[in-house]
Amino acid sequence: MRVSAEVGERPARGVRGAGGETIRAAVFDLDGTLANTLPPISKLLVKVASEQGCSVTARQAAAAIGRPPGQAFGRLLGRPEEDGRVQAAISRYRELFSYEVLCQGPQLLFPGVTAGLSALRAHGVELAVATSKTTRSAEALLDVMGIRDLVGPVIGQDVVRRGKPHPEMVLRAAGRLGVAPWESAYVGDTVGDMRMAVTARMEPVAVTYGIGTFGELAAVAGTRMCSSFKDVVSVIAAARPRPAAAGAPQQRRR
């Protein structure tokens, strides 16, 4: 199957999801979706900003999570991304990340994630991660949580020219999986995640236990709302019929 490389390219087959085409792949955000890293990352952002002479509240720090590091610290410090203090903050954040966040290991997983990813794989759904973290940082987090082997490609902001909410990241993930974007879902916890999914012609699936509020996420047209990871699995699996048993007659796809 040829995978679209251009935003907006889609066959005229109608809408997927609720009664539409099958979802063959699921691409996941990381922080706030698979990993409950928001509390330790917020604490770390506050600490690093303080070292740079800026007083930042936990709420301000939480609002910066999910952005690329330059944008996050530029916003927190009130300086351009290329500013020396912003770059120093990024370096310090990366230096402390292992000690402040990764050390918590599997405790960072949201309930049901390991079982849910395993269930989706059993349904034949291809899995990937697309995140604003660097690829190396994302791989390390997945590794310490014990779920790296459950997902395929990991696409970080360092391997694309344009990060979220531009769809380049998720389109690359779908391409690596060999699945068309319109047969894929993107699962995330922010409005930017949902807008990225819509622009990429993917099924937008939102979790309400992360950063975004229910109202903000639901305002993005077509978004599927999930209050738990178990709900995420149900939404995706419902659009992915189980493979027919050996010898069973195959229903012809129209």
> Is 143 an active-site residue?
no
Q: Which of 31, 189, 193, 231 is catalytic?
A: 31
Matching residue, tokens 């991660």? 129
Matching residue, tokens 């063959």? 24
Bridge partners for 198 per DSSP? none
Polymer length in residues for the chain: 254
Does residue 182 contact residue 202 with C-beta atoms inside 8 Å? yes
Contacts of 127 (CB under 8 A, 6+ apart): 25, 26, 27, 28, 117, 120, 121, 150, 151, 152
Contacts of 185 (CB under 8 A, 6+ apart): 23, 25, 26, 27, 197, 202, 203, 204, 205, 235, 236, 239
Q: Distance between CA 221 and CA 30 in Å, rounded? A: 22
Q: Distance between CA 91 and CA 21 in Å, rounded? A: 44
Question: What stretches of 123-190 show up as alpha helix (H) in DSSP?
Answer: 135-145, 168-177
Q: Identify residue 179 by its one-letter amino acid code.
A: V
Q: Which of 29, 189, 193, 231 is catalytic?
A: 29
> Is 29 an active-site residue?
yes
Greatest distance between any 2 Cα atoms in the chain: 68
**Of 252, 250, 188, 245, the residue nearest 220 (C-alpha):** 188
| Residues with catalytic function | 29, 31
